[in-house]
Structure 1
């Protein structure tokens, strides 16, 4: 029996109007250090991703589907990092770590929307690379601006649908007693532990839909890149092989980091977001990955580095 069910059974409860985000409160001596570290990471995330978006929008050499998707990825990274990190920063310094019931609903809603959308956007980016390398003669006619916009819209549609299901799945349950969330944001699994009802069905819903929105895009990505690798292997030109691999390497690295942490948190049968290890893993995909993506794509992509050099030359030596 969960603490919430016990409170409901004994009748000793009041409806929950606020949740307490415990986060990293077990390290009181490190709060200011953690605040400084996370503030620096968040600043780099926002500046790096905004810089990537500005570079792509202003450089004509980067006006292609691949970089359009990359600019949307940067936007998504800013969004879901901003849903979580500002509240985390406030909690490092404030004595009141609470968040209203409605605020918790909103935070979970927008977080799930953007994380799910990023999952499907990464699949769209893999499809783009498949078309560019495996079907180059049809690339321009298939990957039109309309197609790219439809893929982004579809990613957000999946995000909205999953968010509606997952958020409704959690907050349809009664919360009538314990309100201390052992996490630094309103995540699904920690909140299920506080519900004043049997959460077995809700847990199954969480597992099924988390698996669908994670493993389906992952399957599309693996299929696309398997065909890409087969095509690259058949290329006779060493230069062609190197160019094809270079355009895929950064994307595949970003995918590996993103999906490994998300799968560990949501898709494994026994989630760990209720302990310190779960929080550490969550930090990677909510805080660290949004910061790393601009560097992964800029440092490993010759076209992005060339565009950045052109911008620096124009601004420094007009």
Structure 2
């Protein structure tokens, strides 16, 4: 099965072959983007989160509007919509690359393009909670471009990707405007995971745009998030802990570590990541269930954008454990990721 994958994905064939010869991920490649492509399209993610090539299809309109919220808004542009709903483009694209399916990749790109068609001339989006919602979308767009420009499958889409990059640059500029950033920081203050989200969004955009100043700005957010961690490994959310948002923040932090962080910052981040993952694993029950007891946000206290109660989305924990396992070489965390995924198949909302 792996040999077939190598033939279909020549850009990471050598990387994957190396994985057959050595368990040390650090020896696979010195190229960050290749490592990221490897993580997203092979191994545990290929067998869990990115295993279903039809994922997201029924939630995507022909024009690229994605999710019931944005599709409904797109009918007559009344009511609420959120640019963050288009962030699923990244997973759709990753699935397409994992399966070597250009139809799926095209679907993901259309989701990004619909999002950027809603962009204002200054790079903003006229939706509620704009700074936070935009940070999700910017991160997904930047990460998608990194992935597509690393895999040869992205080459036929180059003109569309270049058009997306121009719009992405405008959005990054808007998010770092002093007045916009100040308001966004004030709104984000109670939520530690948002430091890692914004850091990843700006950091990955800096990789796409080759913008050192933007990278430096992203480091500010990452270091602020690191400083907020409690001694027991909790990254606070609204003056407490939350197993769902712990995983969300760690996932973005791990992504930043791999794609953006300097060696110096990586050394600062690693103890934080280890402590955070340790606390998150303590919330996993023997059967793979993730406890929401005591959560400040995702135990039914808040609602999703579609009005449903927030619960723990296990896919963030799957991604976190799998990523940490690849980084640390700890096989137990990879097994934990798979166990959590198996339980998610039983408990996830219909």
Same fold (TM over 0.5): no
Q: Which of the pair has the greater relative contact order for Cα pairs under 8 Å at 6+ separation?
A: 1
Query: Larger helix proportion, structure 1 or 2?
Result: 1
- For the pair shown, the structure with the greater C-alpha radius of gyration is 1
